[in-house]
Amino acid sequence: MSHYVLDFREIGPDQAAAVGGKGVALAELSRIQGISVPTGFCVTTAASQRSLADTSPFDDLLDQLARLEQQDGAAIRTLSAELRRTIEAITVPDEVVTEIRRSLAGLDEQAAYAVRSSATAEDLPTASFAGQQDSYLNIVGAPAILHRVSACWASLFTERAVNYRLRNGFDHRKVKMAVIVQQMVAAQAAGVMFTADPVSSNRKLISIEAGVGLGEALVSGLVSPDRFKVRDGQVVARALTTKTLAIRAMPGGGTREELIEPEAQDRPALTDLQAVRLAQLGRRIEAHFGRPQDIEWCLAEDQFQIVQSRPITTLFPIPETGDQENHVYLSVGHQQMMTDAMKPLGLSFWQLTTPRPMAEAGGRLFVDVSRMLASAASRAGLLDAIGRSDPLFRDALETVLQRGDFVPPLPDGGPGGPPSSPLPAVERLAASETDAAIVEALIAHNQASVAALKREIESKSGSELFDFILEDIQELRRILFDPRSQQVFMTAMDATRWLNEHLQEWLGEKNAADTLTLSVPNNVTSEMGLALLDVADVIRPHAAVVAFLQQVQAESFLDQLSAFEGGRESRAAILAFLEQYGMRCAGEIDITRPRWTERPTTLVPVILTNIKSFSAGESKRRFEQGRQQSEAKEAEILGRLWTMDDGEHKAEQVREKIAQVRTFIGYREYPKYGMVSRYFVYKQALMREAERLVRTKLLGEQQDIFYLSLQELQEFVRTNRVDGQTIQRRKDAFRSYQALTPPRVLTSEGEAINGSYRHSELPAGALVGLPVSGGTVEGRARVILDIANAEIEPGEILVTTYTDPSWTPVFLTIKGLVTEVGGLMTHGAVVAREYGLPAVVGVENATRLIKDGQRIRLHGTDGYIELLP
């Protein structure tokens, strides 16, 4: 077998290192019965490595490139250009030239060929690298082909390819280049086919784009394609364009642009029959590769030739069910304000904590609501409940229901009665109930239970530890789903809604409850933000400590504080904060995420901002100011009601509801705090167990346990055996999941639906969301995706994907909040109202549409954002 050139028939599925992703795919395509692939061969990565072996500047330049980061734009541009010039100038070794010429002679040396790049990091299941390297069409003659082979090698270092590798975490040295040499097809039409619709992600819908002549016209954006949608053997949609231009192959080599005759400009590039036939080929290719494909094709003499197939890497996975039924899934992450991918250990803990099993896909959890939607009785309750919290969920579900037959109706009186609701009915407290002792008892019970857990888990290890954790999770579930606990915050939520609805009807007051809930007691999340202000008060007088914190990078910084004047007090203040709140972090529902106690440097920027932006005693001033505003608002509302017809009765009703809200709404944040507190105790014990496994060489590193479920980890500890390949495979999968954005609603056909708002009469260009905290503010947007980078100046408006309790300390500095994810009663909304911050959540693509530093006007009462000049 040749070392430098391989025929398609010689390439196996495990030879990507030699021929790149494209080479392997073409070889596989050529073996599928009924699929026609133009003949050709692959110049292997060994050929490029041999050719570069004696090029001394190459390694030096590559070393320089390896030290750059994505923000080093100018340096990347300079180095990548120099690398390309170096490669194109090399003399291809005789032995490589000989093998390429021999392969050409075995085909037809005078024929025209396409010379195409095939990198080893191309057309992968997790990163396509499509369009990052160069290809050349209609190349005639061995000298021209050899020249283009060198050009393909050089295109490994185009600026766009270098940036793509940096963004996706690929090592420049580990990516090699092979080159495909393939006979040209005199195409009358060409284009691309997606075996899952790239817009809706529907796996049942095939999307075809077709143009006249060679496909280069479509790829380069010179022409707009005809578009066909094919489902179940029928064209269900088409959009035809007027075609004025085509790219054709020239007889002596190369390509040229040609004008299309007027009488042919409106002729479809494909007939419906051809589109259906092409779709059938697409399904055959998809079945062979086992996942949806992005396929390049061309048509010559009414025969389709397939010139490439790669996996579609942007589709969100579908939960596996094992049946052929239609399913509709709701995203748990959108409801929990944590849409990031979770690791397997985190997913398993969440599954064990919740009362019903959930579907998993793409490192996220989903609730299957198909049966609830199928029953008229449960459907109405589901749509009403979820629509009040997040209208986008309701709109997305209604989009599915409008299709008529996707969710077949079930009789409500059928076997087993109507399907159960994910939102079981909860009794409310009496309308006059305002006893704060109810909340205090619930909190005290939770605290005592966590304290007992900490004491008892200390002595547990090995299999006994896992049995203990699994048993204690039942206690966690009892506390989380205690009917009395749910009564408290559901009563408060109902009272809040009642106040907003009735005060708007009676007084024209929009979202009046926002002011009435300022500085409520027992809100553990908002108290946490105020507590960090108190930490700043301790540190502020000590200039040496402040200067030290400004330079901190290592997580061990607390141990060094005592060396400075005031360091002992500062250290004690931070440790006391961590004792009470150190179990929190961004994405805290995933037990594997690093907690503040584990990464205390996360808090340093917020502490420094508090020191800089506020004076001593700010926490007490803030809380007192909110309390007084709430009392003043209550007095004003009651006074206005007294002047109305039946005012005395209305005022009494409102007074009762305000008392309920202020007594009970703060508790809304506590159940999650209790859950996260317990999770951290479990995690600390599991990390001690992981440390033992690392010491005994059974595990590579402690964090490897994050890629096993709790049950798998338990079995590992019992048997001292684990599959390292499984852990690595899950690490790779998690990295790919991180790049995906989960939809609010997902169907079993793969359709990703996010819903839309039905706002009218808004300013042109306004971004629409859900109003969750009233008021209008104007200021500079600070777009932040990671709280670790949260350097916010006072008075800025925070724009981010989502916020959870870990963001609360930042709320003290900002004057408004915009998020892409969220609902009326999610944590960010609750805390924003308590702090009096205007907030709009559920703003699709806010972090992309709003530029960092841009001036915006946030309308928290009406739910939209204006982008200002």
State how far the Cα of 337 lies from the Cα of 172, in Å rounded to an integer: 36
State how far the Cα of 145 lies from the Cα of 114, in Å rounded to an integer: 9
For residues 589 and 338, the answer to whether their CB atoms sit within 8 Å is yes
| Catalytic residue status for 827 | yes
State how far the Cα of 343 lies from the Cα of 591, in Å rounded to an integer: 9
| 473, 484, 666, 683 from 480: Cα distances, Å | 10, 10, 16, 19
CB atoms under 10 Å from CB of 79, counted, come to 20
Collapsing DSSP to helix, strand or coil, 318 comes out as coil
Catalytic, out of 327, 542, 827, 859:
827
Helix, strand, coil percent values for the chain (each to nearest 5): 50, 15, 35
| 59, 90, 215, 256, 342 from 178: Cα distances, Å | 19, 16, 22, 27, 36
CB atoms under 10 Å from CB of 148, counted, come to 22
State how far the Cα of 121 lies from the Cα of 118, in Å rounded to an integer: 8
CA dihedral (851, 855, 859, 865) positive or negative: negative
Contacts of 723 (CB under 8 A, 6+ apart): none
**Residue 807: both structure tokens together:** 């963001």
DSSP string, 599-623: -GGGGHHHHHHHHHH--TTHHHHHH
How many CA atoms lie within 13 Å of 24's alpha carbon, on the beta-carbon side?
A: 22
Residue whose structure tokens are 């390439």: 11
Residue in 566, 561, 599, 559 with CA at minimum distance from that of residue 583: 599
DSSP string, 347-361: HHHHHHHSSS--EEE
**Residue 268: both structure tokens together:** 């479809």
Contacts of 774 (CB under 8 A, 6+ apart): 510, 511, 514, 515, 838, 860, 861
Q: Which helix (H) or strand (E) holds 713?
A: helix 710-719
Looking at 423-482, list the stretches that DSSP marks H as alpha helix, in order from N- to C-terminal side: 436-457, 462-480
For residues 834 and 514, the answer to whether their CB atoms sit within 8 Å is no
How many CA atoms lie within 13 Å of 13's alpha carbon, on the beta-carbon side?
A: 5
CB atoms under 10 Å from CB of 761, counted, come to 5
State how far the Cα of 8 lies from the Cα of 298, in Å rounded to an integer: 19
CB atoms under 10 Å from CB of 69, counted, come to 9
For residues 128 and 111, the answer to whether their CB atoms sit within 8 Å is no
Exposed/middle/buried for residue 682 (C-beta within 10 Å: 0-12, 13-18, 19+): buried
Collapsing DSSP to helix, strand or coil, 308 comes out as strand
Residue whose structure tokens are 């200390």: 458
Phi, psi of 718 (to 5 degrees): -70, -40
State how far the Cα of 766 lies from the Cα of 669, in Å rounded to an integer: 32
For residues 549 and 539, the answer to whether their CB atoms sit within 8 Å is yes
State how far the Cα of 641 lies from the Cα of 651, in Å rounded to an integer: 6
User: E strands of 338-389, at which residues?
Assistant: 359-361, 364-368
Name the residues annotated as catalytic: 827
